[in-house]
Structure 1
Amino acid sequence: MQVSHTPAAVSASFDEPNLVSAAGLLPVMRLAQGIGLRDLVDERLSVPTDKGANPGLKVSSLVAGMLAGADSIDDLALLRQSAMSKLFEAVYAPSTLGSFLRAFTFGHVRQLDAVASRLLAGLAGRVPLLQRRDAEEEFVFVDVDDTIVEVHGYQKQGSGYGYSGVRGLNALLATASTAASAPVVVAQRLRKGAAGSARGAHRLLAEALATLARTGTAGPVLVRADSAFYGHAPLAAAVRAGARVSVTVRMDAAVKRAITTIADDAWESIEYPDAVYDEDTGAWISKAEVAEIDFTAFTSRKRSEQVAGRLVVRRIPDLNAPAHGQGTLFETWRHHAFFTTVPAATMGTVAADKTHRAHAVIEQVNADLKDSALAHLPSGKFTANAAWLVAATIAYNLSRAAGVLAGGRFAKARTDTIRTRLVNVPARIATSARKIRLRLPENWPWQEAWEQLFTTIHDPPAAA
């Protein structure tokens, strides 16, 4: 591709009053309006009126900006360009939204958490977000993980060096997904950068499972997490809520003793369709062996607090074993184990191993958020950034719903793909007889999906 005109034949001017750069915000924000975003915020958020007048409209503006790709307060100015005010009311200046965020206290953030939970329930009632072929047998997976959002400078309240060695703030997330659907965020919490991964995880898990129940999603639930969350408090919170667990264990003395009792003929070969990267050795592993043994977790605690289940162990040859110039009498193995309360009759050893490793899907959510609103935490005030995180997860869930309604490959597409192909679509506004018509680009490659999204939200089928 090359430019078809000489420089002298081309000019530019910013003077068209009827253009919008993100026409896809219209159906998505109508969806948000339909499930009560503004009303829920107005009802539950009690930010002081001198900074928080019309909180529902202001939170809606934050979410709309994030849907269009804003990752800082200044970026929210994109909502005020050209003809956006013809499509949306109360389009606030970035400075106004920044003052609104800085008025948040921890209590206000928790109020916004409650709004996010109820919004997801409303979305699930409108959009099939967590689809399953067999609701009685197939698991809904609740995955828990934390991530460090990097910050720069020392003005950010609560920032510090966490497990990654990067200065930032720690975002703890819980997502829900199924084998047939992409994850949605069911709970979130911003913490100090130096916070341990498991800090407050039991409370977040309880809230996540309560939110999942609020969506009306029936059937078995499996909570998955890595070894940072292997502790009595998180597992007990999941078990109390009626969920099964599948959590990587630390190789402590009790686990090592259990592994040594596994019979040699109990190991079963497993081959991976796609090689698995081993971070410890830097090698790609295409096959391994798995076995399991009955195991009771937290035996140092009183009997009522112990959790019975299975220890599923995967072993691979230790490529870092010292070489002695001759063959070894016994093969040297490296072991990876996880603890699960799923009965063997429900999920065999190989299936349990495959299902557990799939909990890495939450890493895709972390990446999606950091590729949009969580690219930055925009304020020096901790509670403002905590509110920003909640708004970012609301925007993420709305993107997921938009992808499902658009259908096809968008149902599981990354939110960046949904944003660039369905939301940030340029359009010119034409007005006639008090009606507005959006004139979108001819030959837009994703026209069919956009029209399906628009039609489904603006002209839903009549109830039977």
Structure 2
Amino acid sequence: MQLSHTHPVTASAFDDRNLLAEAGLIPVLGLAQDCGLDDLADEHLTLPTDKGAHAGRKVTALVAGMVAGADSIDDMALLRHGAMPTVFDHPYAPSTLGSFLRTFSFGHVRQLDAVATRFLCGLAERTPLVDGPEVGGRILVDLDDTIVPVHGHAKQGSGYGYTGVRGLNALIATATTDGRAPVIVGQRLRRGGAGSPRGAARMVTDAVATVRRLHPHTPGGVLVRADSAFYGHKMVSAAIRAGVDVSVTVRMTAKVKAAIAAIDETAWTPIEDTDAVYDEPSGRWISRAEVAEIDFTAFTRLASERTPGRLVVRRIPDLNPQAGDGQSALFDTWRFHAFFTTTDPAMLDTVTADKVHRGHAIIEQVHADLKNSALAHLPSGRFAANSAWLVLAVMAFNLTRAAAITGARLAKATTATIRRTLISVPARIASSARTLTLHLPQRWPWENEWSRLFASTQRRKPQAI
């Protein structure tokens, strides 16, 4: 592809008032308006009247900027270009939105959490956001935290966490159904030096309650998955009290090692892995990776904390044993990965339980997605403002996912892909008989998806951002 020789571009001018760089914001904010985002923020936020006035419009503006790709306060200026003031009412200046965020306290952030939950429920009512078939009859809730790096000492709450990088700790809970990308059902910003399990029990309780509001009829219930950092009585007991099962990676303590050693050698079953070969005559996988399980009682320090379940163990050959004197190994050496689960073996057998648990890694994609968009920065020096920014980023993430569900090709797409195909679409507005018409690029590859989204969210009156 080369620049045209027949029609060379020799000049440029930023002078067209009828152009939009992000025409996809029109149907996306139409969906947000259908879900009552403005009204929810006005109802639940009790900010001071001097800088917190019109909270609904300002929350919508911040979410709209994040959907369009803003990852800082200054980036909110993209809401004021070209024909944006014509298509939307009240496009706020970045300085106004920054002052609005700085009025938040911890209590206001919790109010914004309530807005995010109700907004997600509204999205689920109007789009098939979590209507995919459940994995094994279950909805999977994943819990994990990530460090958002910050620079300098001016950020309240920043510190060195488990990564050794100065930052703030974001705890995220997601819900996944088969055929759909995950949606975020819980979020909390914590100081950088906070341990991973801090507040995890409360997060599990809130996330399960949200999932049941989104999907009240789940045949197999809910399964909470987490890594070894969250293996503790508080988190597991919170899930059990909420009436759900858990699948949590365990640390290799002496007790766990003793349980693994007690597994009979005939109990190991080969599983599908990267080097596995399926043998059709025998109907089994020929693989060096194997799984087995054994009954296990977790948290035996106190009688009141004892939790019965099963320990599912996956073993793979240790391909890098310590160097010896050149003598061949007399027996195989293995590396073990174990997790504790309270699921019923009749519902999830050993092999299936292992496969489902390994799917927990999907939450890492959500972390990467957030950091590749609105969570690339935490823009304020105030901890409460950054906490509000995280909640707004989650709302923008879920809104973008709901918009993408209109096209099957985008059901599992990342936020960057959705933004490139549905949001950042250039358009020119034309006025006739007091109505506006959007003229979009001819032969746009995702025209059908964009048109379906626009048709499902068409509004007659202007929206406010």
Q: TM-score range by the shorter chain?
A: over 0.9
The SS at the match of 1:23 is coil
Moved over 3 A (4+): 5-9, 132-135
User: Partners in 1 of 2:7 and 2:226 — Cα distance?
Assistant: 57
**Matched-pair contact (CA < 8 Å) for 2:290–2:314:** yes
How much does 1:215 deviate?
Answer: 1.6
How much does 1:327 deviate?
Answer: 2.5
User: Partners in 1 of 2:76 and 2:216 — Cα distance?
Assistant: 35
Q: Residues 397-408 of structure 1 correspond to what in structure 2 (within 5 A)?
A: 397-405=398-406, 407-408=407-408
The SS at the match of 1:53 is coil
**Matched-pair contact (CA < 8 Å) for 1:131–1:180:** no
Equivalent pairs counted in the alignment come to 446
The aligned counterpart of 1:185 is 184
Q: CA offsets, 1:392-444, max 9 Å, x none?
A: 00000001100102x12211110110011101101001010011101001111
- Are 1:90 and 2:90 an aligned pair? yes
Cα–Cα, structure 1 residues 8 and 338, in superposed 2: closer, same or farther, change >3 Å? closer
Task: Select between 67-76 and 156-165 the one with higher mean Cα deviation.
Answer: 156-165
User: Partners in 2 of 1:13 and 1:199 — Cα distance?
Assistant: 53
The aligned counterpart of 2:159 is 160
How much does 1:5 deviate?
Answer: 4.3
Determine which structure has greater relative contact order: mean sequence separation of CA pairs < 8 Å that are 6+ residues apart, divided by chain length: 2
Q: Residues 53-64 of structure 1 correspond to what in structure 2 (within 5 A)?
A: 53-64=53-64
The aligned counterpart of 1:390 is 391
In structure 2, runs of 5+ residues without a counterpart are 277-286, 460-465
User: Partners in 1 of 2:7 and 2:410 — Cα distance?
Assistant: 39
User: Partners in 1 of 2:317 and 2:210 — Cα distance?
Assistant: 42
The SS at the match of 1:181 is coil
User: Partners in 2 of 1:5 and 1:197 — Cα distance?
Assistant: 59
**Matched-pair contact (CA < 8 Å) for 1:290–1:315:** yes
User: Partners in 2 of 1:32 and 1:274 — Cα distance?
Assistant: 46
The SS at the match of 1:379 is coil
Relative to the length of structure 1, the TM-score reads 0.93
Q: CA offsets, 1:47-67, max 9 Å, x none?
A: 101110000000000000000
User: Partners in 1 of 2:103 and 2:263 — Cα distance?
Assistant: 58
Relative to the length of structure 2, the TM-score reads 0.93
**Matched-pair contact (CA < 8 Å) for 1:292–1:311:** yes
Q: CA offsets, 1:83-104, max 9 Å, x none?
A: 1011111110000000000010
Cα–Cα, structure 1 residues 326 and 90, in superposed 2: closer, same or farther, change >3 Å? same
The aligned counterpart of 1:281 is none
The AA in structure 1 aligned to 2:211 is L
User: Partners in 2 of 1:362 and 1:218 — Cα distance?
Assistant: 24
How much does 1:231 deviate?
Answer: 0.4
The AA in structure 1 aligned to 2:104 is F
User: Partners in 2 of 1:153 and 1:273 — Cα distance?
Assistant: 43
The aligned counterpart of 2:306 is 306
How much does 1:273 deviate?
Answer: 4.9
CA-atom RMSD in angstroms: 1.6
How much does 1:453 deviate?
Answer: 1.1
The SS at the match of 2:405 is helix
**Matched-pair contact (CA < 8 Å) for 1:316–1:334:** yes
Percentage of matched positions with identical amino acids: 63
**Matched-pair contact (CA < 8 Å) for 1:20–1:426:** yes
The aligned counterpart of 1:50 is 50
Cα–Cα, structure 1 residues 76 and 274, in superposed 2: closer, same or farther, change >3 Å? farther
How much does 1:329 deviate?
Answer: 2.8
User: Partners in 1 of 2:194 and 2:376 — Cα distance?
Assistant: 20
